[in-house]
Each structure stands twice: as structure tokens, then as C-alpha cells.
Chain A
Amino acid sequence: MTEPHRVGDLEIPEDVRFQEREWTAERIGWVVLAILVLLALAGLFGTGPLSSASVDDADGALTAGYERFVRHDGRTTLSIEVAGDLSSNGEIDVWLSRDYLDAFEIQTISPEPSDVISADDRVIYVFPVDDSISTLSVSFSLRPQEMGRISCDAGVRDGPSVSFDQISFP
């Protein structure tokens, strides 16, 4: 703590060396903030080119579109696309792993499944489809409830499956 000393007639705890260092620190801080904002603009903290991703299964019959980076208590959308020929009995059953569902609060599912079946390690959503449908698109609107790395397994019952990871920021 600088003791007050005299600058002309002023009794004032001025410390020019400290001030110079503070100005330097400020300018470094500005650069860091600007980089942070630019990275956020690119999608590093969710929603944006850096964050959007999708994963296919080997045959391309199942595609999951997700965001690599999400925010805790924010919003994110998981889209699942299934080729029409994977339907059986006029239905396509899409499952999500229970661990994944524990990490999220489901806000909406569009279209609405006609049935929801619980299994030990997964939850199965039943979607009725028209015979002529070529691709079923389902959108899960999710609110992350955990922070850190979240792993997801998703798939079609008795069909292909995919896995991906997401990182949830606090």
C-alpha cells in the first residue's frame, strides 16, 4: 500500500509505476476478452460453426445432428434422421441411452412419439410413420443438466446406432 506522498501541493497515494503496470495488464486483458468473444462467435461455447456436428452410422441410414459444445441450463437440439426403410410395422423406434437422458431435461420432442418405452439402459421412443416415408426427422429440444463431458449413444431398435460426445460448459 503506497503511503500518501506529495505531488506538487497534492497529498496523494499516486504510484506511477503501478499505474504503468496496470495499463499494461488492462491491454492484455482486452486482447484476451476480444479473443474470447471471437471464439464464442465461431461457436466454441455453443451454437456456431465450431460446434455444429453430425455423425452417421456405417451405412448412412442413421444420422445424428448435435452440438459439440453446449451450456448448462441452456438449450440445445439433437436431431435424429432415420432412413424410411428401417421402419417395421409402420413404426420407427428411436432409442437414447439412459445416461444421456439423465444428463438432459427434455423440453420437447418433435414430432411427438406415440409411445415411450423404458428399458434398463435406454429409453425407446416410438414414432409411427407412413409407408412411403423416405426419412424420419426427429428433433429433441434439450436443456443440459450436467457439466463436463456427456456421452451419448443413440440408435434405432434392432438397427444401427451411433455414439458421440458433447461438452457442457457451466
Chain B
Amino acid sequence: MDSVLRAVAIYVILMLIFRISGKRSLAQITTFDFVLLLVIGEATQQALLGDDFSVTNAVLVISTLIVIDIGLSLLQQRFTFLGPLMDDVPLVLVDNGSVLGERLKKSRISEADILHAARASQGLENMGQIRYAVLERTGEISVIPKQQG
């Protein structure tokens, strides 16, 4: 029983904490982000498994997490209002060439971040070539280039 309860508690708490921390925390852009996620993983492991080293405990914890995950995704299908609550919504950052500064500031994203995404995904050179830039739910920035010609 304790395996299941621990898994549920950790899942709920982690989900709450990551939702509060904003979209970019999941994107692992900088070394610091990477280290943060690594260390969080370590801290979580102790709480999940305790000092119970049995295979059964691991299987129960993993099964519980998967069952919650699938259960929530099924619930989201049925009750669409849960979607934004649990999985966030995308946000337009550059609208038809114009940079929406207020949104950048509130999302804690710089123009350099947008340009990085433009280079990485589209091979674009400057802001003038970006038609739309969207901060996706996953924390990635997707870029739609201006049409050529």
C-alpha cells in the first residue's frame, strides 16, 4: 500500500511544482536546467523507493505512475477543460513579424532564445525572417519562417 501511496504523492507534487515553475523549466536549454532535472530525479528516487529494494516495490511504483498517467490522459479526453490545467497552452511570441515584448518578459524568454530556436529548427538568420514564433507547451519554441519571395 505504501508503494502506491508514495508514487501517487510524488506524481501529484512534482506535477504541481513543475506547472508552477513555467514552461521553460522542462526544456533543458542550459547546463543549469539539465543539472536541475538530474538532481530532481535523484531526490525523487529516494522518496519513491525508500529503503525497500525489492523488485515488487519497483514494479508497483512504476505501475502506479503509468496507471495515473494513462488515467489522466483518458480523463483529459473526456473533460477537455482539464487539458490546459494539466498540460498548459501554447503561446504566440512573434505575431506576423512583430515581437510581443510583454509576453516575452512574462515568460522569461529573451529574443536570443527565439533566434536560437530559429537557427536550430529552420536555419534562419535574423528576426526579420521569422513570421511566427510559438512557445509550445513543452517549453520548446517553434518557428514559422516568412514565405520566400
Residues in A lying within 8 Å of B, measured CB to CB: 30, 33-34, 36-37, 40-43, 45-49, 51, 71-75, 169-170
- CB of B53 within 8 A of CB of A42, answer no
Cβ contacts B1-31/A at 8 Å (1 or 0 each): 1111100000000000000000000000000
Q: Check B67 for interface membership: any CB of A closer than 8 A.
A: yes
Give the interface centre of B3, B53, B64, B71 by most chain A CB atoms within 10 Å.
Answer: B3
Which residue of chain A lies nearest to B1 when distances are taken between CB atoms in the complex? A48
Complex CA distance for A75 and B67, rounded to whole angstroms? 25
Complex CA distance for A46 and B2, rounded to whole angstroms? 8
Q: Check B42 for interface membership: any CB of A closer than 8 A.
A: no
- CB of A170 within 8 A of CB of B51, answer no
Contacts A37-B63, A75-B52, A170-B56; is A30 near B4 (CB within 8 Å)? no
Nearest CB on B from A100, distance (A): 19
Q: Which residues of A have CB within 8 Å of B50?
A: 75
- CB of B54 within 8 A of CB of A73, answer yes
Complex CA distance for A34 and B66, rounded to whole angstroms? 9
Q: Is the interface of B mostly helix, strand, loop or mixed?
A: helix
Residues in B lying within 8 Å of A, measured CB to CB: 1-5, 50-57, 60, 63-64, 66-67, 70-71
Complex CA distance for A84 and B107, rounded to whole angstroms? 68
- CB of B54 within 8 A of CB of A72, answer yes
Which residue of chain A lies nearest to B2 when distances are taken between CB atoms in the complex? A47
Contacts A37-B67, A75-B51; is A169 near B56 (CB within 8 Å)? yes
Contacts A170-B54, A170-B56; is A42 near B1 (CB within 8 Å)? yes
Which residue of chain B lies nearest to A30 when distances are taken between CB atoms in the complex? B70
Q: Which residues of B have CB within 8 Å of A169?
A: 54-56
Which listed residue (B2, B3, B53, B63) contacts A73, Cβ 8 A?
B53
- List, sorted by A's number, 20 A–B pairs whose CB atoms are closer than 8 Å: A33-B63, A33-B66, A33-B67, A34-B67, A34-B71, A37-B4, A37-B60, A37-B64, A40-B1, A40-B3, A40-B63, A41-B5, A42-B1, A43-B1, A46-B2, A46-B56, A73-B53, A169-B54, A169-B55, A170-B54
Contacts A40-B4, A75-B51; is A45 near B56 (CB within 8 Å)? yes
